[in-house]
Amino acid sequence: MGMVLSAMPIGDYDKRLVILTKERGKITVFAKGARKPNSAFLACSQSFSFGEFLLYEGRSSYNMVSVNITNYFEDLRKDLEATCYGLYFCELADYFTHENDDGTQMLKLLYQSMRALIQASIERQLLRYIYVLKMLVLNGEAPQVFQCVRCGNEEENHYFNSEAGGLVCKNCSKSTTSNIRVNDSTIYTMQYINTSTIEKLYTFTVSKEVMVELRQCVESYSRSYIDRKMKSLELIEKLFK
């Protein structure tokens, strides 16, 4: 079971797919003849395709034998902004996942995030920050948002410092630079994202003030823990800033 993260043409008729799977993590799959007009792999060998893939395991890659797609996310493809965000989510999943890892939680997060993009019940900018922060949580790189990362104080933690690794209290903030002032609602939002199940992740909205602070925290923290500039993110910032 998995979702196609990206597809690249190979030769005259084939495609090279990167698929995030539940059982094997991120894998490379070759779909022979996928670019032929009558190929059974034509529709399934594109980004966002989710379903069950029957594969033959070779020495260094997999070959597609058959496929049963249960969701093409066609509505997402009809919306340019949603498509760009979907590509960004896939690109970030590609960055964080590896072969032979258990991909269950990462795949579930990606799938639920794609569904949230279609439903558009909350702002896509908020979807982006939730997704990025939860990816970091699943990857074991979550910021400390429950107590001061320096002294362990659980009160007066009204500053976020990416270099320190999370919240810092009023006293410890005096010895750190680049602090971001955050209110209680923003702290609670990050705590909820950290601890919530994926199924309940996209069930809230935030005020404009919280959105601004959440953006500052997530973007600052991402720069410290993600060492690649995503091409799809550059496109989003250019077209939908």
CATH superfamily for 75-241 is Recombination protein O, C-terminal domain (1.20.1440.120)
**Cα(112)–Cα(117) distance, rounded to whole angstroms?**
9
Q: pLDDT tens digit string along 33-53?
A: 999 988 989 888 899 999 999
In which element (H, E) is residue 9 found? strand 2-10
Which residues make beta-bridge pairs with 15? 9, 31
Radius of gyration (Cα) for the chain, nearest Å?
Answer: 20
Q: What is the pLDDT of residue 240?
A: 81
Question: Does the pLDDT value for residue 241 go beyond 80?
Answer: no
Q: What is the pLDDT of residue 145?
A: 97
For the chain, what are the domain ranges?
1-72, 75-241
Q: What is the pLDDT of residue 136?
A: 97
Distances (CA, A) of 168 to 46, 101, 144, 148, 225: 44, 33, 9, 4, 18
pLDDT category of residue 204 using cuts at 50, 70 and 90: very high
Q: pLDDT tens digit string along 217-231?
A: 999 999 999 998 899
Question: Does the pLDDT value for residue 61 go beyond 90?
Answer: no
CATH superfamily for 1-72 is Nucleic acid-binding proteins (2.40.50.140)
Q: What is the pTM of this model?
A: 0.94
